[in-house]
Structure 1
């Protein structure tokens, strides 16, 4: 199954939103930014980077709140049910809007109960394994699994999370059989990986980098089509599994009915951040690639992503929970 690229040529797109913030919305209270996964994961890390730099632009503190569970659905629903006053926002992601709606029966629909505000960045995944295993490449990883078919397990940030589905896609395309063990965030899966209770997991570069850099785990492949500057010696998984390419996207969303002036103001501020070299350096240090686009383009991007994961669910016969 070949993944179609979701990277539109948008970096050079002119975004005429900056001036609108001058006469736009100003919050009168602190703003909550819901990160629907555990502390230490990519959604949490990126939310905190955004909150720190967005707060002075809004003139109010942006407070990150972790609301975990159900592959991000718990936090997403809390935003979908919130008042559309701009004071409750979501760090939306491929998991919350692209994957979970395809594999979980929800009492809400992120496509209609939340509105896209501003895409932030795309974060490739990295396949990490226990450092004590005799595995230094994907070929060795595949051989190790085939010799122990049905005996091994891998971790993820939860059923339907991007870390679950990126690994499920990889295993499906490579013809490998490994049992999925969901956690409430990859940071919570890490102790079992270090202890050897799971063989590995695909995690976002953002959250996996600390463990890779200090040698606690071994990185054997990335989901991008080329090696990354932060991990120049780690090859793309697509070299061993042709057609495999995944980019986990993150961006801001709000409740349905969010007024246009609030969307415009928040979008303009996010474009301001994405134009600052220091902010881009912080993203790059986490392995994140900026993905600026208009709210309308962001909505189209989300819809395309959701369809691609629907295709995977059909191809694998994955059960809807």
Structure 2
């Protein structure tokens, strides 16, 4: 073989290796600057706390700041649109939540298609709601609540943090499976709803466990059951709704998604770092204190959850006739 032919073959082999080398180089280079983590909620709630904890842990592992950007409004749609329409370079992430699954049906028109435009990265946590009543309501169990509501149709007011919220949808699923009539009273946030529940202005709520657990323990509210399929370590004495109503399950969850076409090696790096953070004892302890169950797994695992939740809550939205304000 002459020198020129040998050189040509050498150059061809080198060119063939370039895509692999380029992919490896991109994976090693990312992240080279701060990463934006957009959430559709105000500071101080469970979503914000989850984002900040995970942002801190990922910063430590990946060597770049994860900057939390709170963009509330539009039922999380403002934040979702901003994140999904950002450049797919790995430097913008969205904290996905049940609102993303609910909104696909709740809103007649959106400027994005969540399932089609979101690239699943990793699941984070899942935590149940708690069926709580004002102590003046003469019920102590789920069967008693169902019987009382059937005997007094329309008498019970069911508070929520707003139309389409997980608190609202948890109650609507309960109504759908039991056939009872409770009047939905939407508030602008969980805090005012909880205040009115404690004062007796409303009687029932399917509240998030991190915000109402202490009120249950103190006796200001009466807890009947948790909405997950297993008991909660935070309120271990409470049964599950499913113990009395087979097939019932409702919970809040959070995870990361990125814009579609984000490089797969970036998704893989993020997924690995996220699962490593969730495996740390400090993370397990902190999230257990909040009543959460960890959701480690692959991007495909989280994608499956997103699809299943979108289908499930779509049916509940249609049943309830829920509309946005």
**TM-score after normalising by structure 2:** 0.81
Moved more, 250-259 or 142-151: 142-151
Q: Is the 8 A contact 1:119 1:252 kept in 2?
A: yes
Q: Does 1:206 align with 2:226?
A: no
How many matched pairs?
300
User: CA offsets, 1:238-258, max 9 Å, x none?
Assistant: 222222122332101122332
Tell me if the contact between 2:166 and 2:251 (Cα under 8 Å) persists in the aligned partners.
Answer: no
Shift in Å at residue 220 of structure 1? 1.1
Distance 2:192 2:117 in 1: 29
Select which of 118, 121, 125 maps to 1:121: 125
Q: Is the 8 A contact 2:169 2:317 kept in 1?
A: no
For 2:213 and 2:38, the matched residues in 1 are separated by 23
Aligned residue among 195, 201, 209 for 2:199? 195
Whether contact under 8 Å (1:41, 1:186) holds in the other structure is no
Q: 122-131 vs 202-211, which deviates more?
A: 202-211
Cα contact 2:36–2:69 (8 A) shared by 1: yes
Is the helix fraction higher in 1 or 2? 2
Equivalent positions of 1:195-274 (< 5 A) are 195-274=199-278
Any stretches of 5+ residues in structure 2 without a counterpart?
1-23
Partner SS state of residue 90, structure 1: strand
Equivalent-residue separation in structure 2 for 1:297 and 1:278 (angstroms): 24
CA 1:300/1:213 → structure 2, altered by over 3 Å: closer, same or farther?
same
Pair 41,131 (structure 1): closer, same or farther in 2 beyond 3 Å: farther
Distance change >3 Å, CA 44–CA 140, structure 1 → 2: farther
After superposition, residues 26-175 of structure 1 pair within 5 angstroms as 26-29=31-34, 31-96=35-100, 98-105=101-108, 106-175=110-179
CA distance, structure 2, for counterparts of residue 21 and residue 122 of structure 1: 32
Structure of higher CA gyration radius: 2
Aligned residue number for residue 17 of structure 2: none
Is the 2:135–2:220 Cα contact (8 Å) retained in structure 1? yes
Task: Give, in angstroms, the shift of residue 319 of structure 1.
Answer: 5.3
Q: Is the 8 A contact 1:21 1:265 kept in 2?
A: no
* Relative contact order higher in (CA < 8 Å, ≥ 6 apart): 1
The alpha-carbon distance between structure 1 residues 84 and 189, as it changes in their structure 2 partners (threshold 3 A), is farther
For structure 1, the 5+ residue unaligned runs are 1-18
CA distance in 1, matches of 2:224, 2:182: 17
